[in-house]
A and B are shown apart, each in its own frame.
Chain A
């Protein structure tokens, strides 16, 4: 028996992260359908991203794209690419905090 989906990553087709040029990072959650998109849409807020990534809320840009079932979040890279403390040159592993976010059980009750 498989467990019910618990995290955003469980629900998504893909959650990914990447540099958007050397000074920005961007995250995307690709959801499979309208219902999953609505859950992601409700879950991904300025407050959540600010807390997960330790970035100021005012620095965030969130794009909600219902046609593609995608939520995209961009913010300035907290650590400059290639600097002594940059441990993820392409920002390719920074999706994990978002993907690991547990979806509160109440969210699954959302009705279309």
Chain B
């Protein structure tokens, strides 16, 4: 093997899919390795499915699906002697999410006889330490949120900080074969290895953003993985599914996906600027990108995510098919809200601000609510009643009071009681605690790695 001095000419990144556990074909990996992958990077999480996963500290992906993906990735990385980086382990990147993925990795290493150095990077934060930062004026709100207060931090069931590439690079420099990161920016997962190898930040960060969702930047967004090769002047990107293609439009359009601003994206250490990027087709399925920049920030900032319990919920569901009711469904819904409010006040003696209900008319205007413009009279409506209260017992009690209304409430003008169609018995289901994202704030830090804790261990048959 030739001795290397200075950075390599280029670094190849294999992204097998947009999410660990989403699945990919074994050919995806074979193809990516044959293209000369220097690292395999895959995201393990997202906030997109809501605050429950962080709040309850539960993974969205099924263990069997994560195990299946990891088994293929560990085999490929081990055989090619290249590192595997997994970001935002366990969906939300909590400490138990990292440990959950690490346990799966450990089992596979023993079963399939891989001796690998596994790094775990923990990103969960204690409210107390953050309150100290807050008091020193080091935590700032991002738009559209308000300045943070200590009470909000204390309310959080779990808080994670989003790492940049530095903690991942630290683990790789320490010789990790597998890096299991807690919450990390989607881009840091792919950017860490090429940055370590001396690739320029502009193309590296832009490439990392383009490939973070796997096939999303291709003409077949549902297809598997993508491969990017970064060099000193730019990067190229191509799909790993031979039937898919990257076109200048499909690649450029990925900057729109789930972003507020398609031209600039803030990372902990600076801003990705792609307004000047040029996208050129190299062939029918490969795109070359040049002109991306990375502007280092004056202050390194780490973003926080936190989920707090907002209440305990019970959901009830009933169907209405009676055309007479459906012709006046708005009147019925208003009468329902009024009647339930009165009954909760008189029977349970609860004040109006101690509980909440959301009556949703699926088939009529449930999804868009007030934004719906003059919906037509529906053929049938699914009535979902979501109740929130300070504890589960109260939410259930309110739902039990609502039960006869969901079954029999007439229009105010009717002189008999209709009966509606319950879908199940009982008609209600307790949902347990419900959560809300309450942090949209960043912490000024002096060190990119200080908020994150690194643990390294050898795993496999020789170390079991």
Q: Which of B49, B252, B371, B436 contacts A83 (CB 8 A)?
A: B436
Q: B440 touching A22 by the CB < 8 A rule?
A: yes
Q: A100 touching B436 by the CB < 8 A rule?
A: no
Q: A72 touching B144 by the CB < 8 A rule?
A: no
How many interface residues does chain A have, given as a range?
35 or more
Q: A93 touching B367 by the CB < 8 A rule?
A: yes
Q: Bound state CA distance, A84 and B261, in angstroms?
A: 28
Query: Which residues of A have CB within 8 Å of B386?
Result: 84
Query: Which residues of A have CB within 8 Å of B259?
Result: 20, 26, 74
Q: A68 touching B144 by the CB < 8 A rule?
A: no
Q: How far is the CB of A52 from chain B (nearest CB, A)?
A: 7
Q: Is B368 interfacial (CB 8 A cutoff)?
A: yes
Q: A24 touching B51 by the CB < 8 A rule?
A: no
Q: Is B52 interfacial (CB 8 A cutoff)?
A: yes
Query: Which residues of A have CB within 8 Å of B301?
Result: none
Query: Which residues of A have CB within 8 Å of B360?
Result: 87
Known: A20-B259, A20-B260, A23-B440. Is A89-B50 also a contact (CB below 8 A)? yes
Q: Which of B238-267 contact A (CB under 8 A)?
A: 249, 252-253, 256-263
Q: How far is the CB of A97 from chain B (nearest CB, A)?
A: 5
Q: Bound state CA distance, A61 and B262, in angstroms?
A: 11
Q: Which of A40-68 contact B (CB under 8 A)?
A: 52-54, 59, 61, 63, 65, 67-68
Q: Bound state CA distance, A26 and B214, in angstroms?
A: 20
Q: Which of B140-161 contact A (CB under 8 A)?
A: 142-145
Q: Is A88 interfacial (CB 8 A cutoff)?
A: yes
Q: A84 touching B249 by the CB < 8 A rule?
A: no
Q: B260 touching A53 by the CB < 8 A rule?
A: no
Most buried by A among B143, B360, B368: B368
Q: Is B294 interfacial (CB 8 A cutoff)?
A: no
Provide the A75-93 mask, 1 if CB < 8 A to any CB of B, else 0: 0100011111101111001
Q: B47 touching A21 by the CB < 8 A rule?
A: yes
Q: A63 touching B261 by the CB < 8 A rule?
A: yes
Query: Which residues of B have CB within 8 Å of A24?
Result: 144, 260
Known: A53-B371, A81-B50. Is A72-B440 also a contact (CB below 8 A)? no
Q: Is B128 interfacial (CB 8 A cutoff)?
A: no
Q: B358 touching A85 by the CB < 8 A rule?
A: yes
Q: Bound state CA distance, A30 and B356, in angstroms?
A: 39
Query: Which residues of B have CB within 8 Å of A18?
Result: 257-258
Q: Is B420 interfacial (CB 8 A cutoff)?
A: no
Q: A76 touching B258 by the CB < 8 A rule?
A: no
Query: Which residues of B have CB within 8 Å of A85?
Result: 358, 369
Q: Bound state CA distance, A30 and B221, in angstroms?
A: 15
Q: Is B310 interfacial (CB 8 A cutoff)?
A: yes
Q: B437 touching A82 by the CB < 8 A rule?
A: yes
Known: A20-B260, A21-B47, A26-B259. Is A67-B252 also a contact (CB below 8 A)? yes
Query: Which residues of A have CB within 8 Å of B142?
Result: 23
Q: Bound state CA distance, A85 and B313, in angstroms?
A: 12
Query: Which residues of A have CB within 8 Å of B356?
Result: 84
Query: Which residues of A have CB within 8 Å of B83?
Result: none
Q: Bound state CA distance, A24 and B261, in angstroms?
A: 11
Q: Bound state CA distance, A23 and B373, in angstroms?
A: 25
Q: Bound state CA distance, A15 and B304, in angstroms?
A: 31
Q: Bound state CA distance, A24 and B51, in angstroms?
A: 14
Q: How far is the CB of B372 from chain A (nearest CB, A)?
A: 8
Query: Which residues of B have CB within 8 Å of A110?
Result: none
Provide the B391-409 mask, 1 if CB < 8 A to any CB of A, else 0: 0000000000000000000
Q: Bound state CA distance, A30 and B150, in angstroms?
A: 43
Q: Considering only CB atoms, which chain A residue lies closest to B387 in the complex?
A: A84
Q: Considering only CB atoms, which chain B residue lies closest to A22 in the complex?
A: B437
Nearest 4 A-B pairs (CB), nearest first? A76-B144, A22-B437, A82-B50, A82-B51
Interface residues of B (CB under 8 A from A): 47-52, 142-145, 249, 252-253, 256-263, 310-311, 313, 356, 358, 360, 366-371, 373, 386, 388, 434-437, 440
Q: Could you list 11 examples of A-B contacts with CB < 8 Å?
A: A19-B48, A23-B437, A65-B262, A74-B260, A74-B261, A81-B436, A84-B358, A87-B368, A87-B369, A89-B50, A90-B49
Other 6 A-B pairs with CB < 8 A, given A63-B262, A84-B311: A18-B257, A22-B50, A65-B262, A70-B253, A84-B310, A90-B48
